[in-house]
Structure 1
Amino acid sequence: MFTLLHQTPDFLVICKHAGVSVHKDDNDQPLLAEVAAATGDQQLYLIHRLDKMTSGILLLGRHAKAAAELSGNFARREVQKFYLAISSKKPKKKQGTVIGDMSRSRRRSWKLETTRENPAITQFISTAAGDGRRLFLCKPCTGKTHQIRVALKSVGAGITGDDIYGQEAADRGYLHAFALQFTFQGQVYCFICPPEQGELWQGAQVQTALAGWSAPWDIHWPSLPSGLVKPRVD
């Protein structure tokens, strides 16, 4: 269900496994309860969320004060998040930025609009992943539901194993929360979590790319227009 990556008196960093929901109504044994049982915490606070199909880094507060500060960092867009994805399709462009409002579409899906009133913003670079597939390193500058999944579909590269937006079935949905950087109480924290679940991550070209992306916050990402990224309002 999860792997514990790091713990301090204020927060935990775990790797959520693919296929595990962070929502109580989807689990007979909710994720937070499982983590708390393993760490001895009476209560844990979910700072951000990952889709059920998405594996990778998840940050949990260990008390209310820490949770409020960390949640504030996310709300003010002060946290750098990086995701990995694999697609069986070549994108319309190998790198770039996807910007647009998102709206509800059919059933569980969302769609990207051409308007930019409160846009989802996703930057990405990509490289060959073997067997005609493409590996993406994505940097979401906002935190909308299904944002990366919709962004990659919009450039013609739906994620492999994504049963809503993808074009190829697989042993899992190939989206992984790879890295996280944030400041807490004046200290900068950086976490990297390479993906382990899923045979497509193990290919030689993918592993070589991951070695080159070991510090994604040091990559030169293009600057965004001033005022485009707005603080989150819940």
Structure 2
Amino acid sequence: MKFPKFQDLILFENDDLIVINKPPFISSLDEREGGEINILRLAKQYSPDAQVCHRLDKETSGVLIIARNPESYRLVSMQFERRKVKKVYHAIIDGTHVFNELQVDLPILNMGNKNVSINRQEGKPAETWFNSLVYFKHYTLAECRPVTGRMHQIRIHLATQRASIAGDEMYGGKPVFLSSLKRGYRLGKEQEEQPVMKRFALHAKSTTFRINETDEMTFEAPYPKDFATLLKLLEKFDS
């Protein structure tokens, strides 16, 4: 896989912070010893004291905040801890769903090894708000606003509404194939059809937080190519 230049990911930077549009398929932090390129390593090559302030799932794209010094890291981390950061995600979900300020308030238990479950007894509080933005025949583009920041929160909360994210097989979502959208689509002989998106369709669209003691700013990340392509195909063949 070809990695983009770190500079090309930057949406905003000053002496204290770097805000990037994280590409899919790159981990935010070191997953395990050795191997994989990740955002933290790329950021440290660019700015030696860089620290990633929060994390996005490896497959999730979008706004990611990086601090350039310990003071800024503390400032941003405290805002996350106190739930002062406003996060807006866009997801393409299976089926047509009418969400109008739908609140999902279901506790999530982290079972380790990247597994989570809804658990009312032992789970930690988790709250997400959902709105439908665009309806297609078989899919919906939804806005997701997590208040808390639990692992896989948006994904599992949508799954509880029978509205899994397209391509999120871990939570019951199905990959989108062009053959299911386009009538008369023919594959060449011996060819195996690949899904339109090779990941689940979740993008961190915008984030609002205080960049210093006084100034609040909102940062928006354009859709990456695969997300934009899927939306274009849905507009053309599924609306």
**TM score, norm. by length of structure 1:** 0.78
Correspondence for 1:94 among 91, 99, 107: 99
Distance, in Å, in 1 between the alignment partners of 2:74 and 2:112 is 34
Structure 1 pair 142–156 and aligned structure 2 pair: CA distance change class (3 A): same
* Structure 1: gaps of 5 or more residues: 207-234
* Structure 2: gaps of 5 or more residues: 176-194
- 1:188 matched residue in structure 2: 216
Q: Determine which structure has more spread, i.e. the larger CA radius of gyration.
A: 2
SS in 2 for 1:71: helix
Correspondence for 1:150 among 152, 156, 162: 156
Q: CA deviation at 1:176?
A: 0.5
Say yes or no: does 1:78 pair with 2:106.
Answer: no
Structure 1 pair 115–28 and aligned structure 2 pair: CA distance change class (3 A): closer
Q: Does the CA contact (< 8 Å) of 2:17 and 2:66 recur in 1?
A: yes
- 1:36 matched residue in structure 2: 44
Distance, in Å, in 1 between the alignment partners of 2:96 and 2:44 is 42
- 2:205 matched residue in structure 1: 178
Distance, in Å, in 2 between the alignment partners of 1:105 and 1:67 is 28
- 1:232 matched residue in structure 2: none
- 1:16 matched residue in structure 2: 22
Structure 1 pair 166–19 and aligned structure 2 pair: CA distance change class (3 A): farther
Q: How many residues align?
A: 203
Distance, in Å, in 1 between the alignment partners of 2:165 and 2:234 is 19
SS in 1 for 2:230: helix
Distance, in Å, in 2 between the alignment partners of 1:115 and 1:97 is 20
C-alpha RMSD of matched pairs (Å)? 2.4
Deviations 1:8-42 (A, max 9, x none): 100000011111111313552232221332x3x11
**TM score, norm. by length of structure 2:** 0.77
- 1:202 matched residue in structure 2: 232
Distance, in Å, in 2 between the alignment partners of 1:203 and 1:116 is 42
